[in-house]
Amino acid sequence: MKERQSNRRNFIKHTAAASGMALFAGIANKVIAQATGEIINPAPAPIRIRFSVININHAHINSMTEAVKRGGGELVSLYAKEPELVAAFTKQFPEVKVASSEKEILEDKTIQVILSSGIPDERAPLGIRVMQHGKDYMVDKPGITTLEQLAEVRRVQKETKRIYSIMYSERFENRATVKAGELVKAGAIGKVIQTIGLGPHRMTPKSRPEWFFDKKRYGGIITDIGSHQFDQYLFFTGTTKANVVASQIGNTNHPQYPKFEDFGDVMLSGNGGMGYIRVDWFTPDGLASWGDGRLTILGTDGFIEIRKNIDIASGHTGGNHLYLVDQKETRYIDCSKEPLPFGQQFVDDVVNRTETAMPQEHCLLATELALKAQKFAKVVSLTK
């Protein structure tokens, strides 16, 4: 018993040293809910960069803007063609100046970074223009919708040495996933050999714009909502080279939208581990969240399971739930108060020309795998 307690203390001490926070241990064979207290976000950083926004066709732009502001970014200006979207954004961020054109922002030499959540097939062409104007770029996912766009992005990024960052928010903006990264790095589950990423979404067709139903515009289901899972697969397995073993896509229940896909899944194999991904548009209205997103990280000495947005079985409220099972016990960690470091790391990279938030090659490899899985997917049909 003493040896077991000693091992447990050593694990907690090691994890705290790696993550900067104490991990609350549970009781063997019993899961106990615990809270980690107040959110420990760093104090607002002093202004270090000026940034602007071009095109805001998805609400993800709000959290992207907040992340850069937390990191020390000053929001300067906005350009978008849709008056109603401009009105909503300026209400959220009243300090922003509305520009008369994209050109006005791109040619402002006092701005270092451009953010965008435009229509997906327009995001890469804008990013290329941004880099050619000597600015860094952060774009909502999917940041690129075709392999041809990817090749051009890679060419211009290499030529200009600017940052082309895709906001994989299911990792960067989910506190439980950030915590899982700290635990994996600390060796809590040994060597990671597989990730399983599930990305269900609620469709709500009445709230969706016309381009949402056109595969040419949004890139396909794997390219779009599957992009998060490719990022997490690479990150948690440490994979730098990977192949798509198999993939399939289908429009299984929405014949009224013939250019739409409502289901996709993928098997991956790489030099750091294996991966499985499933995405869909079938979240029912009875769920108190837009999707029961989950991530399982399988290691040689244990596993981690994350309930990102909701935990329907436990009674725990909200999201950011993490379960850790090792050779000794099962633990539950409430991660709702964990800090989100991405914004500050991104601004650090802009200022210092480093890659602490996300290596450039990782960013583009995650997209490349998604695009290949989408392009070569088998089309499934459930007609009998």
- pLDDT surpassing 70 at residue 315: yes
Which among 286, 262, 282 has a CA at the least distance from the CA of 202?
282
DSSP code at position 301:
T
Q: Using one digit for the tens of pLDDT, what is the confidence trace for 113-171?
A: 999 999 999 999 999 999 999 999 999 999 999 999 999 999 999 999 999 999 999 99
Question: Which CATH number among 3.30.360.10, 3.40.50.11540, 3.40.1440.10, 3.30.230.10 corresponds to the domain 2-38+171-342?
Answer: 3.30.360.10
Q: What angle do CA 180, 188, 292 make, to 5 degrees?
A: 30
Is residue 162 within 8 A of residue 203, CB to CB? The reply is no
The full length of the chain comes to: 384
Phi, psi of 170 (to 5 degrees): -70, -15
Q: What angle do CA 138, 142, 148 make, to 5 degrees?
A: 100
Compute the average pLDDT of residues 92-105: 98
Residues of the chain with pLDDT > 90, as a percent, come to 87
Kindly tell me the burial class for residue 275, based on how many C-beta atoms sit within 10 Å of its own C-beta (0-12, 13-18, 19 or more). Answer: buried
How do the domains of the chain map onto residue ranges? 2-38+171-342, 49-168
- pLDDT surpassing 80 at residue 53: yes
- pLDDT surpassing 50 at residue 5: no
The CATH code for residues 49-168 is 3.40.50.720
pLDDT value at position 4?
43
- pLDDT surpassing 50 at residue 189: yes
Q: What angle do CA 105, 108, 112 make, to 5 degrees?
A: 90
pLDDT value at position 11?
39
Decide whether 2-38+171-342 matches 49-168 in CATH topology.
Answer: no
Q: Using one digit for the tens of pLDDT, what is the confidence trace for 116-125?
A: 999 999 999 9
Compute the average pLDDT of residues 218-247: 98
pLDDT value at position 258?
96
Give the C-alpha separation, 334 to 39, whole Å: 11
Strand partners, 192: 299
Assign 381 a pLDDT band (cuts: 50, 70, 90).
Answer: confident
Q: How high is the mean pLDDT of the chain? A: 91
